[in-house]
Amino acid sequence: MTERPAFGFETLQIHAGARPDPATGARQTPIYQTTGYVFRDADHAAALFNLQEVGFIYSRLTNPTIAVLQERIATLEGGVGAVCCSSGHAAQLMALFPLMAPGRNVVASTRLYGGTLTQFSQTIKRFGWSATFVDFDDTDAVKAAINDDTRAVFCESISNPGGYVTDIPVIAEIADAAGVPLIVDNTTATPYLCNPIAQGASLVVHSTTKYLTGNGTVTGGCVVDSGKFNWSASDKFPSLSQPEPAYHGLKFHETFGELAFTFHGIAIGLRDLGMTMNPQAAHYTLMGIETLSLRMQRHVENAQEVAQWLEADPRVEYVTYAGLESSPYNARAKALYPKGAGALFTFAVKGGYDACVKLVDSLELFSHVANLGDTRSLIIHSASTTHRQLSEEQQIAAGAAPNVVRLSIGIETAADLIADLDLALTTATA
């Protein structure tokens, strides 16, 4: 052999971005618990502040531990660069910020994490931005929703809470034809099950709080750039293509090429919005990612087993898992998510809202928690919690109807999870 073949996912999840610490040789990435970095001299400081030289200035912008995490996630997602931040919701704002302006809109799927629906339908209005929600299975509706003020299209790969799978290539083509980037929230699939960039997405966002960290310890977020979107093809993205007044007239796209979005995220986004990840969180997330493939394989195996058992149970009305043959999304899941349809799905309990509340209270192994992507199995009744702010119509559109509970299947012994559900269903539907 004269040339090493490209590394596989399992190798990259452990090694990408990391190298022995240049100061000490430490093999594991140290936690650089520092806010500032000593400049070599005044010229070095000036070059860093002018973005003429890449280096560490201040931990609101850059930190060596976080830099390793950024490189690792960018590599696993097949992007050119990534910017980590304090939470998944921060990542969504960081992704939209360079694209949007007062009067501009994002066209978003109706099937989103409840908090994202609230962020997009309520909070971003304060910036003068708006969101138009459409069913992303209705491609004509997606096309019709895009207008001259649209600056991004947004969806989740495997959508929360129902576990529906999005046809990313089809949506990417629509966004492309309209000259706007497709942003995919890949939190619930992770780069192990889905690579949105390979399927045509321009940007990927993550809540690293979930599967990437994997054990419910820290919050974090990440924006990954494919490097493929041409920000200068139209006058729609002046923050990237035109002189940026918040950076003494620097033109990000002209200066940084395919890294424009990443540099903008650090030099403007983190600098001025300040939604910075801390190095401790980056450490926990780096630890988690080392075992991502192993955990996801087990998450998916367990989810398939639990979903099949639930579907056959007479106390259950329906199960939404796309890995089930009965799911209308099964063919799409097999084609686009061949390693599995994730570990997040909902099921409807006969007995409605009251039975759901009783079920949640009767489970012992499943924790009633507003989180997902943990090693532990989790359950939530979305209608009375995460999707509570929505009308019943919006709840149903989001897949969080009052008679539905959401499961995030962990990596425990599958038979134990089934026994826990069995006993609790008996109590809930008595």
* C-alpha to C-alpha distance for 204 and 228, rounded to whole angstroms: 12
Scanning residues 150 to 189, which ones bind ligand PLP (CB under 6 A)? 156, 160, 185, 187-188
Cβ of residue 123: shortest distance to ligand PLP, in angstroms? 13
DSSP string, 166-218: --HHHHHHHHHHHT-PEEEE-TTTHHHH--TTTTT-SEEEEETTTTTT-SS--
* C-alpha to C-alpha distance for 190 and 158, rounded to whole angstroms: 9
Residue 116 binds to ligand PLP (criterion: CB under 6 A) = yes
Minimum CB distance to ligand PLP smaller for 88 or for 323: 88
Q: In what helix (H) or strand (E) does residue 237 lie, and over which residues does it extend?
A: none
Residue 202 binds to ligand PLP (criterion: CB under 6 A) = no
The answer to whether residues 414 and 301 touch, using CB atoms and an 8 Å cutoff, is: yes
Minimum CB distance to ligand PLP smaller for 166 or for 293: 166
Residue 207 binds to ligand PLP (criterion: CB under 6 A) = yes
Q: Cβ-closest residue to ligand PLP? A: 88
Scanning residues 18 to 47, which ones bind ligand PLP (CB under 6 A)? none
Residue 115 binds to ligand PLP (criterion: CB under 6 A) = yes
* C-alpha to C-alpha distance for 102 and 195, rounded to whole angstroms: 31
Residue 213 binds to ligand PLP (criterion: CB under 6 A) = no
Report the candidate in 128, 155, 125 with the shortest Cα–Cα distance to residue 139: 155
The answer to whether residues 196 and 157 touch, using CB atoms and an 8 Å cutoff, is: yes
Q: Could you give the count of Cα atoms lying within 13 Å of 404 in the half-sphere of its Cβ? A: 26
Minimum CB distance to ligand PLP smaller for 113 or for 256: 113
Cβ of residue 383: shortest distance to ligand PLP, in angstroms? 17
Task: Work out which of 32, 72, 84, 113 binds ligand PLP, going by CB under 6 A.
Answer: 113
Residue carrying structure tokens 């030099």: 267
Cβ of residue 327: shortest distance to ligand PLP, in angstroms? 19
Binding residues for ligand PLP, rule CB under 6 A, total 17
Q: Candidates 33-41, 48-56, 112-120, 272-280 — which segment interacts with ligand PLP by CB under 6 A? A: 112-120
Residue 192 binds to ligand PLP (criterion: CB under 6 A) = no
Scanning residues 85 to 104, which ones bind ligand PLP (CB under 6 A)? 87-89
Paired tokens of 121: 């339908």
The answer to whether residues 226 and 79 touch, using CB atoms and an 8 Å cutoff, is: yes
Cβ of residue 189: shortest distance to ligand PLP, in angstroms? 9
Residue 386 binds to ligand PLP (criterion: CB under 6 A) = no
Give the x/- contact pattern for ligand PLP in 281-310, rule: CB under 6 A. ------------------------------
Backbone angles phi, psi at 378, to 5 degrees: -130, 155
Cβ burial, residue 141 (10 Å; 0-12/13-18/19+): middle
Minimum CB distance to ligand PLP smaller for 211 or for 237: 211
Cα angle: 222, vertex 224, 230; to 5 degrees: 145
- The residues binding ligand PLP (CB under 6 A) are 87-89, 113, 115-116, 156, 160, 185, 187-188, 207, 209-210, 219, 221, 372
